[in-house]
Chains A and B, each alone.
Chain A
Amino acid sequence: MKFVVSVLLMILLSFLACLYLPWWSIAVVSFVIPLVIIQKPFMAFLAGFVALFLLWGGLTLLISTANNHLLAHKISMLVIKADAPLLLITVTAFIGGVVAAFSALSGSLFRRLF
């Protein structure tokens, strides 16, 4: 339950934060949530990853589908040297996930210091 709530909160707050703040505000959100909803470090790590993987993956999938993947075709060739929009979306989701995962882990470990 805690896990699901953490994930949902991270998704919601990251989305809201990114409306106004730079992209790395996802790290701040993922750091703060485990301070409030206490979880084991590994679970926090997982929650961070799942939350941002879902948020970034979901958002880009929606955006790119509406775009017929026009831009994703071009950017994927540029960035990952392969004409693979879905792979670019996965990479995007993974980047969001990894940053959030380590940040959530840090938050959780920080909480355990006290």
Chain B
Amino acid sequence: MRVVFFFLSLLITLALVVCLGSSILLPLPLGSFLSPQHGIWQNAEPVKQSFDTRLNFPGLKSKSTVYLDDRLVPHIVADHDEDAYFLQGYLHARFRLWQMEFQTYAAAGRVSEIVGEKAVNYDRGKRRLGMVYAAENMLKEMEADPISKVQIDNYTAGVNAYITSLPESRLPVEYKLLGYRPEKWNNLKTALFVKQMAQTLSGFSDDLPLTKLRSFFDDAALRVLFPQVADSLDPVIPPGTVFAPPSVIPVAPPHADSVYINDLPGTLQEAEKPDPANGSNNWAVSGSRTRSGAPILCNDPHLELSFPSIWYEMQMTTPTMNAYGVSFPGAPGVIIGFNDSIAFGFTNSGRDVMDYYRIQFKDKTKTQYWFDSAWKKSELRIEAIKVKDKPVVYDTVAYTVFGPVMYDESFPSSAEPGAALALRWKAHDPSNELLLWYHLDRADNYEDYIHALQYFSSPAQNIVFASKSGDIAIWQQGIFPALWNRQGVYIMPGEDSSYMWQGFIPADENPHTLNPERGFVSSANQRPADSSYPYFIPGYYDLYRGIAINRRLKEMYDVTPDDMMKLQNDNYNMFAETVIPVLLRNINESALQENEKKYLDLVKGWSFYNNIDQRGATIFSIWYENLKKQVWDDEFEKAGVPGLRPSDQTLAEALLRDTAFTYIDNINTPGHETISDVITEAYKQTVAVADSLSAINKLTWGGYKNTSVYHLLGNTVMPFARTGLPVGGGAHIINAMKQSHGPSWRMVIELTQETNAYVIYPGGQSGNPGSPYYDAYIDKWAAGEYYKAWFLKRGEQEGDRLVWKMEFGGRE
């Protein structure tokens, strides 16, 4: 009997240990997860902790110091560049390890390893996009360049110095939640990170939906629905600028206009595409317009916001540089910021650098395809996708002269097999973007800036510049294919080399301007130049933010940094100003019930500011969305295209131009709908939504929008998110804060003798949800406020804002 009791008790004990130490029964291994000496309690950092440390790494050349200020912004002071990049890697890992690793897993199509089966399709998409192939091409370039080699080798060594010293108990919370461990960092991961940004910012293509639409509309109609130049365009380069004749003249093949590839059966399915709202604002105002007489440069990049933030603020000081700004955990250098002499910022160009070609394989093995009248061998890349708790999933991707075959009979779905489509994407080409930042961080003047630009090919950006010597400039920089008119709008035939990209636009022909007469330069993802620019430049362009910024800057003199901060937070809705008169002119008020009219008054009385307390902003936003559905859904659903509609501005300009716009009519009804019918109907639908919003007190713009910053793991970790932030703004507005997408970093740099830098981002320096620095900036950011950056000068290391000191010893 005693034996039975013993074994029973032992069994219970073992069962407890197994269940609490694994995820067999519980969603989390609660024993290890909650163990005070191993689990998440180890991540509950003391609020008043000291970050003072003294560490030795043989990887460092000599003694270096990192000063941490009161906001936990590190200021690296090193005698060697090598050590500065080592310490940057160390700090990124120390404060942001999980995110930098997770993002490179995502880039490489390895998320299934962490979260299991549900990510297999996501991973296949990344593999088929050729993300690792692109990163490998970049890695070769980086390792062949002596400067980059030193940068990445030391950066990687710094990250690994931290990972190696990290005990299991101090793993970031996310590893404990998901039950895995970090692997060693390597140079490829840095390349993967850069390519992830390339996809976020230049991974757009509408070739498939446009091709599909062409079987419903004709080409002439699609030129109207997806126009190249908006009527009211205010381009990056001031209109009237004279462009030199093109030095590269691509030749369209003789049958280019009549070729039409139509084998996209059923309702179109596409792999996940980046958010076209990934954009930004930047501008620089010359000294002629500022109170101090010195240029002011501003930038706010718009991205899907996240915890931890994509940005990590820091300063790096070595004998060759003194740069301050934000860095990407995952890559060396300061990415957006300033140094002793200049400041620089970025907006996305939005240019289309992604084209699809239809491939004719000889047979199912995909080993040969028809190209220039012969069978050409393709290269097969076997992708092994490891899946947590499941067998490996294999996928074969064929590589052609164009690039990887993204779509074929098995992807995105084998249920409705479509044509084999190869992808030509600029981001696949060998390049070494890190050199841009290496040189920008050290640039003293305009010439240095131009020198730095040559290294940047993808994802193309509008790079704004200002210097203490008084210059302001903006270049749209990237390597762009020189396309014949309308090349690559639709899927092109892949059996004929004459349809390939024939050359690239020489960099000096990229749109640019230096010290323009108007006294400012700006960009907000609009088309870079008007139709006089001599190349065909399709892209994903915004319109109204650019108009709003330029209109405001034109009327501003005696500008102070404070004015610029206000401008970055400006909630004026230029788009509403344009569209609302059309709506109000055409709504048939006599068709409305008395109780339906109350919301109309809100729109009529609205000031066009998307402030959080405005209800008119909410009504307008819903109304316009309904109107778009009224106008487009009938045709586009019939065409089998769920994911693409003409842009907001295209509809707005069409209605302004022509009240009898063809597509107003609903083709599914026998009658003929007029502009008044659809606008009134869209309004009536809005009333129902507004009533229900009103009932839960969410009719104000702030309540409706519910501005939120989510953790990278999304709704699985909602307690790590911050929701209901009181932030106005929205799409087409200078303060481009949509629900969870918007200004991920705001900076205003006044280039006076002593640089005055005002900065903030929605997050905090620590990636640890258990740290007070995790979301330390968020409320101030939401309120539109800024921190004055502490720009440490070499030799002045004892300022009272420098709170902690990390001392690092090296080989010497």
Contact = CB atoms under 8 A, between A and B. Distances in A.
Given A67-B770, A106-B6, A109-B9, A23 B47 contact: no
B644 interface: no
B244 interface: no
A19 to B, nearest CB: 7
Contacts of B345: none
Nearest to A31: B13
A55 B41 CA distance: 13
B32 A22 contact: yes
A23 B44 contact: no
Given A63-B41, A67-B46, A102-B16, 7 more contacts: A67-B44, A71-B44, A92-B35, A95-B20, A98-B16, A99-B16, A106-B13
A109 B13 CA distance: 12
B281 to A, nearest CB: 33
Interface string A52-94: 0001100110011011101111110111000000001001100
Contact of A22 (B16, B33, B38, B46): B38
A79 to B, nearest CB: 7
19 contacts: A22-B38, A23-B31, A23-B37, A23-B39, A24-B21, A31-B13, A55-B36, A56-B35, A60-B34, A66-B46, A79-B28, A79-B30, A99-B17, A102-B16, A105-B13, A106-B6, A109-B5, A113-B2, A113-B3
Contacts of B42: 63
Contact of A92 (B16, B34, B771): B34
Contact of A113 (B6, B34, B45): B6
A11 to B, nearest CB: 12
A18 B37 contact: yes
B717 A78 contact: yes
Contacts of A64: 41, 44
Contact of B47 (A41, A59, A66, A112): A66
A67 B2 CA distance: 47
A50 interface: no
Nearest to B10: A106
B16 A112 contact: no
B616 interface: no
Which 8 A-B pairs give the minimum distances between C-beta atoms?
A: A71-B770, A23-B35, A67-B44, A59-B36, A109-B6, A74-B719, A66-B46, A77-B719
Nearest to A73: B719
B43 interface: yes
Nearest to B15: A102
A45 B173 CA distance: 32
B720 interface: yes
B405 interface: no
A74 B774 CA distance: 12
Nearest to A15: B37
A19 B37 contact: yes
Nearest to B18: A24
Given A67-B47, A98-B16, A60 B38 contact: no
Q: Which of B36, B41, B42, B769 has the most CB of A within 10 A?
A: B36
A98 B17 CA distance: 10
Nearest to A105: B9
Q: Which of A27, A71, A72, A73 has the most CB of B within 10 A?
A: A71
Contacts of A63: 36, 41-42, 44
A68 B772 contact: yes
A70 B35 contact: no
Interface in B27-71: 28, 30-48
B771 A18 contact: no
A98 B12 CA distance: 10
Contacts of B770: 67, 70-71, 74
Contact of B40 (A18, A59, A71): A71
Contacts of A79: 28, 30, 33
A9 to B, nearest CB: 17
Interface in B713-772: 717-720, 769-772
Contacts, number: 123
A78 to B, nearest CB: 5
Interface string A1-45: 000000000000001001100111001000100000000010000
Q: Which of A59, A99, A113 has the most CB of B within 10 A?
A: A99
Contacts of A41: 5
Nearest to B28: A79
A78 B48 CA distance: 25
Nearest to B47: A68
A102 B12 contact: yes
B430 to A, nearest CB: 44
Contact of A18 (B33, B34, B35): B35
Contacts of B12: 102, 106
Contacts of A103: 13
Contacts of B34: 56, 60, 88, 91-92, 95
B719 A70 contact: no
A45 B21 CA distance: 21
Contact of A74 (B9, B38, B46, B720): B720
A22 B6 CA distance: 24
A113 B9 CA distance: 13
Contacts of B16: 27, 98-99, 102
B20 A59 contact: no
B227 to A, nearest CB: 48
Contacts of A106: 6, 9-10, 12-13
Nearest to B5: A109
Contacts of B28: 79
A110 B7 CA distance: 9
Interface in B448-497: none
Interface in B570-584: none
Contacts of A67: 44-47, 770
A77 to B, nearest CB: 4
Contacts of B20: 95, 99
Q: Which of B9, B28, B48 has the most CB of A within 10 A?
A: B9
A67 to B, nearest CB: 4
Contacts of B21: 22-24
Contacts of B33: 79
Nearest to A100: B13
A59 B42 CA distance: 10
Contacts of B772: 68, 70
Contacts of A78: 177, 717, 719
Contacts of B35: 18, 23, 56, 92, 96
Nearest to A70: B770
B24 to A, nearest CB: 15
A71 B772 CA distance: 9
A27 B9 CA distance: 12
A19 B10 CA distance: 25
A88 B30 CA distance: 11
A79 B2 CA distance: 38
Contact of B36 (A24, A68, A92): A92
A99 B32 CA distance: 12
B169 to A, nearest CB: 9
Contact of A24 (B3, B30, B31, B43): B31
Contact of B771 (A23, A56, A70, A96): A70
B115 to A, nearest CB: 16
Nearest to B16: A99
A102 B28 CA distance: 21
Nearest to A45: B9
B9 A102 contact: yes
Given A19-B37, A70-B770, A102 B46 contact: no
A60 B6 contact: no
Contacts of A99: 13, 16-17, 20, 31
B41 A92 contact: yes
Contact of B44 (A15, A72, A77): A72
Contacts of B47: 66-68, 70
A31 B43 CA distance: 29
A109 B21 CA distance: 24
A60 B770 CA distance: 13
A70 B774 CA distance: 10
A27 B772 CA distance: 34
